[in-house]
Chain A
Amino acid sequence: METPDQICHRLLARFPSAEISVLQNPGPAAQHSLLVGPASVREVAEFLRDDPLLRLDFCSNVTGVDWPDKVVVDVTKSTVPDPAGGPPKVTEQKTEHTQPGYLEVVYHLYSVALRHGPVIIRTRTANRTDAVTLPSLTPVWRAAEFQEREVFDLFGVVFSGHPDLRRILMWDGYKDHPMRRDYVEPEDYEWEPTPHGDLVDKSKRAHAPKPAGGPTP
């Protein structure tokens, strides 16, 4: 099978205006993936499915990744010449800026016909709050239907063009997205004989003296 760089090269030749790049995986698995912009992911997916050299006819896995906002510290060095004639002074100026987070959807593609794979494509939303819409790939691979519903349920990515976008694991009317990094679980105290970690605080809250006049057990 072609390497991700070769696939990326061919894709860019076929779709010159698309945003496609290769994300390197520095780990020992070295499973590099293709990062595709949301505007062109649908036509890229159709190309990957129909291309005679690839024929990626099987979408084995769809999953989501939550990348929260990250504070990045920029260090700018400036050299101030010493008026007394000594060595110039180097001052460091640190500025912080917040790199906005995003939600990422990852598709693992295989070819049953040609027995190769996986080719991994990723696509990212603009942010984590209001612009969370991505094009659905269910019209390309029917197998993505339930898994995209799961990503919608647990991460809150809205797939446009999905035939039946409802929650699949949690109930309708549930408001949270439990797999997001900033999810706060309900106060759901669990007794432990030796509470530790954050369970110590939970244990204290659960056994706090009840306000007088309240309902008694």
Chain B
Amino acid sequence: MTAMPTITDEERSELRRHGILLTSVEELYNWGRSHSVWPLQFGLACCAIEMIAASMARFDIARFGSEVFRPSPRQADLLIVSGTVTKKMAPQVVRLWNQMAEPKYCIAMGACAISGGPFKRGYNVLKGIDRFVPVDIYIPGCPPRPEALLHGLMELQKKISGQSIKGPDAPRHLRADTSCEYPVPEFGEHDLLPPKNPDVWQAPDSSRKQ
């Protein structure tokens, strides 16, 4: 692969109109991957009901190539965290994430998975799954409607299509400087140990920007 493309996008689309298909390995690879994102068959709370609705006939997630909900994390590409993650459940969610094979993606679906939602002042709810798992797409809502999940899936497809195989933009499993290991938190005497993975999540700055 060279740094400069030897053929521009306009020339390529002109050739396509004449029936000549020119593509790159990267484009073909990402096209295949982004249209067969297999989610893990896994639900946590009421958001899971909307996720199920999205997979049924009315919304039909099969139009986007994601109808194959896998019951095993070994065969899944996408973890949809659909619902409240309690502290008691969090180690199991991180363990499922670790058992998925790279390349893998995570969608935080709904207010609870993003931030704890209505339970964020509680003692027993994780304040967002992004404290332990790197989240690619956040879908707000309580719960989000199936259309919102489909939109999130389309955004994820865009993200996958834009990933390059080499270089600094490559996904983490193709780079030498990133780790694909996510430690599973343990049950402590008062809280999870550790309460967050500092490699994944840092408290955002709350000072006002002018």
In the complex, whether A130 has a CB less than 8 A from a CB of chain B is no
In the complex, whether A215 has a CB less than 8 A from a CB of chain B is yes
Of the candidates B120, B189, B191, B199, the one whose C-beta lies within 8 Å of that of A190 is B120
A173 to B205 alpha-carbon distance, docked (Å)? 34
The tally of CB-CB contacts under 8 A between chains A and B is 54
A171 to B195 alpha-carbon distance, docked (Å)? 15
Smallest distance from the beta carbon of B184 to chain A beta carbons, Å? 14
The closest CB in chain B to the CB of A169 belongs to B124
In the complex, whether A170 has a CB less than 8 A from a CB of chain B is yes
A207 touches B116 (CB 8 A): no
A169 contact set on B, CB distance < 8 A: 88, 124
In the complex, whether B123 has a CB less than 8 A from a CB of chain A is yes
- Given A175-B189, A192-B206, A186 and B195 contact (CB-CB distance below 8 Å): yes
Number of interface residues of B (CB under 8 A): 22
A203 to B206 alpha-carbon distance, docked (Å)? 8
Smallest distance from the beta carbon of B179 to chain A beta carbons, Å? 14
Smallest distance from the beta carbon of B194 to chain A beta carbons, Å? 11
Of the candidates A170, A178, A189, A192, the one whose C-beta lies within 8 Å of that of B88 is A170
B207 contact set on A, CB distance < 8 A: 207
A195 to B204 alpha-carbon distance, docked (Å)? 13
Smallest distance from the beta carbon of B36 to chain A beta carbons, Å? 35
Of the candidates B115, B121, B191, B202, the one whose C-beta lies within 8 Å of that of A186 is B191
A190 touches B116 (CB 8 A): yes
Smallest distance from the beta carbon of A93 to chain B beta carbons, Å? 43
Of the candidates A170, A174, A188, the one whose C-beta lies within 8 Å of that of B195 is A188
The closest CB in chain A to the CB of B121 belongs to A190
A176 to B87 alpha-carbon distance, docked (Å)? 14
A175 to B191 alpha-carbon distance, docked (Å)? 10
Residues of B in contact with A (beta carbons under 8 Å apart): 88, 115-116, 120-121, 123-124, 127, 187-191, 195, 198-199, 202-207
